[in-house]
Amino acid sequence: MTNFSYVILIPLIPLTVFLVTGLLGMKWKPLVSGVIGTVGLGISFFLSLFAAYQYFFATASAGGYHTIIPVNMLWLSFTSTLQIHMGVLLDPISVMMLVVVTTISFMAHIYSLGYMKGEKGFQRYYAFLSLFTFSMLGVVLSTNIFQMYIFWELVGASSFLLIGFYYDKPSAVAAAKKAFIVTRFADLGFLIGILILSFYTGTFDFSKLMQPGTSLFAGITGVSFLGISGITWAMTLIFMGAAGKSAMFPLHIWLPDAMEGPTPVSALIHAATMVVAGVFLVARMFPIYHFHAPDVLIFIGYVGGFTSLFAAIIAMTQFDIKRVLAYSTLSQIGYMMVALGVSGYGGEAGLGYTAGMFHLFTHAMFKALLFLGAGSIIHTVHSNLMKDMGSLRKYMPITHITFLAASLAISGIPPFAGFFSKDEILTAAFHANKLLFYVEYITAGITSFYIFRLYFNIFWGKDTNYEHKPHESPLNMVIPMIFLALGATFGGFIPFHDLVTSNMKPFADKLNILVSLPSVAIGLVGIAAAWILYKKENDLSDRIAKSLGVLYISTFHKFYIDELYLFVTKKIIFNGIARPIAWFDSKIVDGFMIGIGTVTMKISYKIKGLQSGELQQYAFVFIAGTIILALFLLYTLGFH
C-alpha cells in the first residue's frame, strides 16, 4: 500500500502561505506576496498531480479503487460512538477535485500576477486567494460531513472577502454580502440536514455512511415528519446547502452579481471550484441518495434541468460578458446536477455519475479559460460590455485562439473536451429520463448560440474606436490561458469511465452515435445562427457605412433574411420568452429575497415603540409578561 500521508501538505501549504502573507505581507513589496503564494500553490499543484498519478495508476487493482484515509485525527467526541474527526479522505472524486482545484487555483495565481498588478491590496488579495484554496481543499478532502461543513463555511467566508475585494465599489460590496447571506441561508438547511442525519445514524463519517447496504439507516427511514420520511428530509435539506453553493434555481441570484469581484476570482470561485462544491457534495453522498432517498435524486435532476435551460435563455440576453459567462456557469452546473439525478449505481447504470464528474472536470478547464480570456479582454479594453469590443482577433491572437477553443469545447464540438462529457450526460439522460434529455438537448443548442454570440461580438465585427489600441496581455496572463486551452482541447480523451465511477469499479463506455450525432448537429446549428446574426450583421453595417449603393443592393436579400432572423429571435424569442424570464428572475425571485429583508426591517421599526425609556412602562410590561405567561401555562397544562 502506498503511503499517502503527504497529501495533507496539499491544503497545509496554502494555509501557511495565508498565515505568513496575511500577517507579514504588509511589510513586503507587493510582488513578494504574489510570488510566495504562487510558488506555494505550485508545490501543492505538483503534489496533487503526483497523488493523482499514484492513486489512479499505482494502487489500481482489478477490483477497482478503494477509499484511502491516510490521516484521521480524533477531534471532538460527543459520546463514545458519535465522534468527530479531522482527516484526509482519498477516493476517485476527491483526487479528481484535488487536481481540479489546485490546477485552476495555480493558474489563477499566475494569471493574477499580471492582472492584479498595481492594484491596491495586492498582498491582501493573495492572502485571501490562499485562504480560499485551503478551504476548498478542505471541503474536498473531508472525511466526514462535519469537517466538510466547517470548511464549507470557510469557503463561503473567504469568497465573501474575495468578491468584496474592490471594497470601494458599492456594487461589489453589495454583491459580496448578497452572496454570503444567500449561501448562508442555504447552509442553514445543510446544517439541519446534517443534524438529522447524524442524530439517527450516529455517525458523521463518510466511509461508514457510504457503504451500500449498511444498517445505519434503519432508524432514520422509519421516522417521518409531515408524511415524509426522515432520510428524505435530511437529504433534501443537505441538497439545499448544495443548491446554495452551486447556485441552483431559486438560490442562484447571488452568482451573476458576484461577478463584481476581480476576474481571476470569478474564474477560480465562480467557474471551477466553489460553485461545483454543491455538485461534489451530491456526488460525495451519492450512495445515500441512490439507496435511501431516490426521490430526492430525481428532484435534484429536475432542479438541475430547469436551471440549465432557464440560465441558458437568460445568457442570450446579457450584454456584460462576465454575466453571460455567469449564467453559462449556472447552466452547465445544471447539466452536472442532471447527470447525477439520472444516474444509477454501479457499472453502466452509473454512467450519469461518471458523466457528471467528467463534465465537472472539463467544465472547470474551459470555463476557467473563458473567464481568464474575458479578463484578458477586460484588462485591455477596460470595459465589461460587448458593445465596447469588436474585431479583437487582430490585436489579441492568443486570447482569440484560446477563447475559440473554449467556446468550441462548451458547444460540444468534437474533439474538444466538452463534447465527450456532454455527450455522456446526454446519453445517460437519454436512457433514464426522456424529458430531461430533451431539455438538455435544447439547452445544448442555446449554449452554442450564446457562446458564439459572445465570441463573434468580441473577436469579429466592426472595429470599435478604442481609446488606446488593444494589445495582447503579458506573458504571465497568457501562459495560464494556453495551459487551460490544452486542457479544454484534449481533456476529453481522459478515460473517466475507468477512473471515476459510482462504485469505484471501471466499466466499458462507448460512444452512442444516436445521441452524439444530433448533439453535435444542434451545437453546429447554434454556432451557425450566431454566425449569421452577429458576424454578418456587423460586417454589413460596416460596409453599408462605407459604400452605400451597389453592395447594399447585392446583399439586400440576405439582409432581409437577417431581418427575419432578428425579428424572430429578438422580437419573439427575446421579448416574448427570455425577457419575461429575466424579469421574473430579477423582480420576483430577487424581489422575494429582498422582501424578506424589508419585512424584517419594517417589523423592527414597528416595535421600536416598546423601547420607550419609561420606567413605568418597563415595569408594566414585566408584570404583564409574567401574568400572560402564567395564564398561558395554566391553560396549556390543562387548568382552565
Partner 1 sequence: MDFKYILLMRHELLLLLVALIILMVDLFTSDKKKFRLIKFSLLLFTIATLVGFIPVKPGVLFGGAFQGNALTDFFKDILNVAVLIVFLQSDGYLKKIENTGKTGEFFVLIILTLLGMDFMVSSGDFLTFFIGLETASIPVAGLVAFDRFKSRSAEAGVKLILLSALSSGVLLFGISLIYGATGSIYFSDIAKHVTASPLIILGFIFFLSGMGFKISLVPFHLWTADVYEGAPINITAYLSVVSKGAAVFILTIILYKVFKNVTDLWETSLYVLAVLTMTVGNLFALRQDNIKRFLAFSSIAQAGFIMVGIMGTGSLGMTSVVYFILIYVFTNLGAFGVASAISSASGVETISGYNGLYSTNPRLSLIMMLALFSLAGIPPIAGFFGKFFLFTSAGSQGYFILILIGVLNATISLYYYLGVVKAMFINKSDTPIPYFRSSNFMRLSLLLCVAGLFSIGFIGGIFEYIMSISHLLF
Which of 15, 19, 43, 173: binder of partner 1 (CB under 8 A)? 173
Interaction of residue 387 with partner 1, rule CB under 8 A:
no
State which residue, 120 or 382, has the beta carbon closest to partner 1.
120
Which of 10, 89, 101, 196: binder of partner 1 (CB under 8 A)? 196
Calculate the CA dihedral of residues 17, 22, 28, 29 and round it to 10 degrees: 80
Size, binding site for partner 1 by CB under 8 A: 56
Interaction of residue 541 with partner 1, rule CB under 8 A:
no
Question: Position of cell 443548442?
Answer: 445
Which of 199, 552, 560, 567: binder of partner 1 (CB under 8 A)? 199
Interaction of residue 600 with partner 1, rule CB under 8 A:
yes
Minimum distance between the CB of residue 139 and partner 1, rounded to whole angstroms? 12
Q: Between 64 and 103, how does the x/- string for binding to partner 1 read (CB under 8 A)?
A: ----------xxxxx-----x-------------------
Interaction of residue 592 with partner 1, rule CB under 8 A:
no
Minimum distance between the CB of residue 181 and partner 1, rounded to whole angstroms? 6
Which of 180, 353, 361, 403: binder of partner 1 (CB under 8 A)? 180
**3-class DSSP assignment, residue 18:** helix
Interaction of residue 629 with partner 1, rule CB under 8 A:
yes
Minimum distance between the CB of residue 84 and partner 1, rounded to whole angstroms? 8
The answer to whether the CB of 273 falls within 8 A of the CB of 405 is no
Minimum distance between the CB of residue 158 and partner 1, rounded to whole angstroms? 11
Residue 171: how many CB atoms within 10 A of its CB? 11
Residue 469: how many CB atoms within 10 A of its CB? 8
Minimum distance between the CB of residue 346 and partner 1, rounded to whole angstroms? 34
Cell numbers at residue 49, please? 498531480
Reported as type and span, the H/E element at residue 7 is none
Q: What is the pairing mode between strands 68-77 and 224-225? A: unpaired
Interaction of residue 594 with partner 1, rule CB under 8 A:
no
Binding range to partner 1, per CB under 8 A, among 181-189, 289-297, 364-372, 485-493: 181-189
Question: Position of cell 495508476?
Answer: 57
The answer to whether the CB of 330 falls within 8 A of the CB of 255 is yes
Q: Where are the alpha helices (DSSP H) in 254-413?
A: 254-257, 263-267, 277-284, 286-292, 294-315, 321-341, 351-381, 397-411
The answer to whether the CB of 549 falls within 8 A of the CB of 575 is no
State which residue, 175 or 500, has the beta carbon closest to partner 1.
175
Cell numbers at residue 521, please? 448537429
Q: Between residue 344 and residue 373, which ones bind partner 1 under the rule CB under 8 A? A: none
Interaction of residue 633 with partner 1, rule CB under 8 A:
yes
Which of 46, 53, 167, 560: binder of partner 1 (CB under 8 A)? 167
Q: Between residue 491 and residue 520, which ones bind partner 1 under the rule CB under 8 A? A: none
Dist. CA 455–CA 181, nearest whole Å = 34
Of the candidates 20, 47, 45, 11, the one whose C-alpha atom is nearest the C-alpha of residue 132 is 11
End-to-end CA distance of the chain: 72
- What DSSP line would sit under 444-501, residue for residue? HHHHHHHHHHHHHHHHSS-----SS---PPPHHHHHHHHHHHHHHHHGGGS-HHHHS-
Q: Between 297 and 336, how does the x/- string for binding to partner 1 read (CB under 8 A)?
A: ----------------------------------------
Radius of gyration of the chain (CA): 26
Binding range to partner 1, per CB under 8 A, among 347-355, 474-482, 485-493, 632-640: 632-640
Binding range to partner 1, per CB under 8 A, among 205-213, 274-282, 563-571, 606-614: 606-614
- Based on the number of CB atoms within 10 Å of its own CB, is 480 exposed (0-12), middle (13-18) or buried (19 or more)? buried
Interaction of residue 618 with partner 1, rule CB under 8 A:
yes
Interaction of residue 615 with partner 1, rule CB under 8 A:
yes
Which of 62, 168, 227, 557: binder of partner 1 (CB under 8 A)? 168
Interaction of residue 430 with partner 1, rule CB under 8 A:
no
Q: Between 552 and 591, how does the x/- string for binding to partner 1 read (CB under 8 A)?
A: ----------------------------------------
- What DSSP line would sit under 281-318, residue for residue? HHHHTHHHHHHH-HHHHHHHHHHHHHHHHHHHHHHTT-
**3-class DSSP assignment, residue 603:** helix
Dist. CA 426–CA 433, nearest whole Å = 10
Interaction of residue 636 with partner 1, rule CB under 8 A:
yes
Residues forming contacts to partner 1 in the complex (CB under 8 A) are: 74-78, 84, 149-150, 153-154, 157, 164, 167-168, 173, 177, 180-181, 184-185, 188, 191-192, 195-196, 199, 225, 597, 600-601, 603-605, 607-608, 610-611, 613, 615, 617-619, 621-626, 629-630, 632-634, 636-637, 639
